[in-house]
A and B are shown apart, each in its own frame.
Chain A
Amino acid sequence: MTDLLAIGTRKGLWLARSEDDRRTWRVGEPHLLAQEVAAVSIDTRRDRPRVLAGIQYGHWGPSVVRSDDLGATWEETESGAVRFPEDTGAALARVWQLRPDTADRPDVVWAGCEPHSLWRSTDGGCSFSLVRGLWDHPHRPTWEPGAGGGAVHTVLPDPGSDRVTVAMSTGGVYVSEDGASDWAPRNRGISAVFLPEPPEYGQCVHKVAVDAGDPARMYAQNHFGVFRTDDAGGSWTSIAEGLPADFGFPIAASPTTPGTAWVVPLVADMERVPPSGRLRVHRTRDAGASWTESGEGLPDGAWTAVLRDAFCVDEGDPTGVYVGTRDGCVYASTDEGDTFALVADHLPDVLALRAVRLP
């Protein structure tokens, strides 16, 4: 069995492999060197795992590339896998998220992009169609870009229904119950400190994760505030008590253990570094009622940050937890975040991590 960790950075993609149940990792040569890889996924539903990467060719614009041989060769759809239809007058600025759907929808892949847009592929990511229901939503003209740009950065298809949840900066959380045709904002209870009153929409939700035990239970790391919903976004309540800071970018939930999730707190608004420079994760075992700091092996004196997709969990037992930093370090935990070991350092800024287990 091989564990594979994809590391997307500001200047390329690295693939790390472990053959000993994640105890040691071998980091390979760079792929897509000099290209920003802000989104990466490893689609294990196929006969051969497909690596999809949302890249930025620097001067030459964004694109989606794919590899069915773990990076030995890369393919790119000639006309562009993500290409705005002419009538929109829009141009793709950046691919923020690539999300394979569930096993029973084997060729469906979702993409979240900038400008704010959601895309759906039915051919494994070779070509994507703009989800018109969200693009044509009357709220869209008022979704403002955050500092990183205005984008759909989180896509969460529900395995058991036609529900699709997205999160945007800014815009907040929107949910479709009919397979992505009709969309409604679901942000009640989520703060927006940059607006005078809590709005129906327009929040800067940084990341959302779904609980292992209940698809209607989700966790959100907000631009200030950590929240939970138990009714698929109908209402959100704060679960930030006990954290040293309620700002951060990523949030991840255990794929197997209900109630378990992780955040990486940062001091904000201006600093956006770990409290006192101590990079740590905080884990809840009770759906946010309490949090415990962990992360032996993570550095002190770390005046860096962990971006929203530079953090992920795997499907191992125990769950592996992976942290990537803006100063080019990647750490892995095989004990659900209690302890970490360095996988790689001196890489460019880490933008995206994805870990899978290959047979």
Chain B
Amino acid sequence: MSVQVVLPGVLADLAGGAKHLDVDPAGGTLADLLDAVDARHPTLGRRIRDETGRVRRFVNVYVDGEDVRWQGGLATAVRDGAVVQVLPSVAGG
């Protein structure tokens, strides 16, 4: 199984400079995918999720263009060949 994870530039440094990661998760959910990202790049993983496993409040994750908040959250299905985007939300000051 191969999933492409697309990172914003600000996180790419934590993945060796790559804005696109090819990830082979152990299962078919977003949680499985993020576990695989975390195993390869722990600091990157902490930027996306807190230590309880929840996606951080101001981090948006899209699976094939759909915001997972309105899908299944961490249980959202991630198919072989999917594109998963990680984006900062509109926040800050």
Contact = CB atoms under 8 A, between A and B. Distances in A.
Query: Are A and B a genuine interacting pair, yes or no?
Result: yes
Interface of A: 57-61, 63, 76, 78-80, 83-84, 86, 89-92
Contacts of B89: 59
Nearest to A89: B52
A58 B8 CA distance: 14
Nearest to A76: B43
Interface string B26-64: 000000000000000011001110111010101100000
Contact of A59 (B42, B43, B59): B59
A68 to B, nearest CB: 19
B46 A91 contact: no
Contact of B47 (A60, A83, A91): A60
A63 B54 contact: no
Contacts of A83: 51
B16 interface: no
Given A76-B43, A79-B42, A80-B46, A59 B51 contact: no
Contact of B51 (A57, A60, A84): A84
B78 interface: no
B88 interface: yes
B51 A80 contact: yes
B11 interface: yes
Contacts of B11: 60
A63 B42 CA distance: 13
B36 to A, nearest CB: 16
A336 to B, nearest CB: 37
A92 B50 contact: yes
20 contacts: A57-B47, A58-B88, A58-B91, A59-B91, A59-B92, A60-B10, A60-B11, A60-B47, A60-B59, A60-B88, A61-B56, A78-B42, A78-B43, A79-B46, A84-B52, A89-B52, A91-B51, A91-B54, A92-B50, A92-B51
A80 B43 CA distance: 7
Of the listed residues A60, A91, A92, the one surrounded by the most CB atoms of chain B closer than 10 A to its CB is A60
B27 to A, nearest CB: 19
- What are the nearest 6 A-B pairs in CB distance? A91-B50, A60-B47, A59-B58, A59-B88, A78-B42, A91-B52
A43 B88 CA distance: 34
Contact of B46 (A58, A63, A86, A90): A63
A94 to B, nearest CB: 12
Contacts of A86: 51-52
Nearest to B57: A59
A57 B50 CA distance: 12
Nearest to B48: A60
A80 B50 CA distance: 10
Contacts of B92: 58-59
